[in-house]
Amino acid sequence: MTVLLTGCAGFIGSHLTQRLLQDGHRVIGVDNFSDFYSPTLKYENMECCLKHERFHLNKIDIRDYESLVKLLSRYEVDMIVHIAAMAGVRPSIAHPLDYHDVNVNGTVALLEACHQFDIKSFIFASSSSVYGNNAKVPFSESDPVDNPISPYAASKKAGELICHTYHHLYDISTICLRFFTVYGPRQRPDLAIRSFSEKMLKGEPIPVYGDGSTQRDYTYIEDIINGVMAAIAYVRGEQVYDIFNLGNSKTIPLKTMISTLEKALGIKAKKQELPMQPGDVTRTYADIEKSMRVLGYDPQTDFETGIEKFVSWLKKREMNT
């Protein structure tokens, strides 16, 4: 199978590229190597794949429809897996126009390309952010998601809606995957686990927003990739539009996350206490019953083990740079 994968050089995208190649697929990688964080880190993510004969890297912005058309004219693509996005809740409040442009217009460009080239399978990377401060827990795919509290969350909800539109109009089989706080090797440097770890290793204080009681459903990257691969297999065999949570279905308070890092790093964190930030949700918590039943999704990595694996990777990377 030939997969066009957007955001191939990012955290999740690079792991998915590696897995697809390992499983014998051909990957047409698309990434614009934006400066949201260092492009050097993204090329570092790609080191394991760049010389692979079934991997083709293309520096393209997903909003550039003409370039997408040229690319799809060169390859016979069976499926598009759309991971690329402007990511992050807090930056989206500062730059809402950019988030709408990339996350909504870029998704429309890819779906229109699907329509024009008769590509009938599409995977969209959504986010647990769409649930906002949902009072009901755990969050289920059937819950209303009409009250996003950040431009990022709103853009992901908009992406799910436009996916449904193209499924309805053109029979594009589509799955939207709501990722819950993914962590592990190659994690983006702006995300808390990596940011905190790097600051702790340097003896710098870590910013703690609120009283430490906010909770996240941390999900290890390998479990997420297994879920995406299950979704790929499912969407290929069904004429469907569907939404699935990919989480660990366990909540970890911020203060527990910090203490787990302290144990794994062998360093006591210096904390800078700050007020809660606009757009931050109080907790995320995935109901994964549907994903387990339909996709066979079954996350295996507990939080302490995942943190140990992440810290091992980070220390090895620090020694080699």
Distance CA 3, CA 111 (A): 14
Q: How many CA atoms lie within 13 A of 87 on its CB side?
A: 24
Of 29, 20, 15, nearest to 1 by C-alpha is: 20
Beta-sheet pairing, 271-274 with 206-209: parallel
The β-bridge partners of 282 are none
Angle between helices 151-170 and 106-116 (to 10 degrees): 10
Which pair of structure tokens corresponds to residue 250?
Answer: 């366990």
Distance CA 245, CA 228 (A): 11
Contact status, residue 113 vs residue 230, Cβ threshold 8 Å = no
Q: Does the annotation mark 183 as catalytic?
A: no
Q: Would you say how long the chain is, in residues?
A: 321
Which pair of structure tokens corresponds to residue 81?
Answer: 């897996």
Q: Which residue in 152, 166, 183, 234 is the catalytic one? A: 152
Beta strand spans in 40-185 (E): 55-59, 79-82, 121-127, 173-179, 182-183
Enzyme catalytic residues? 152
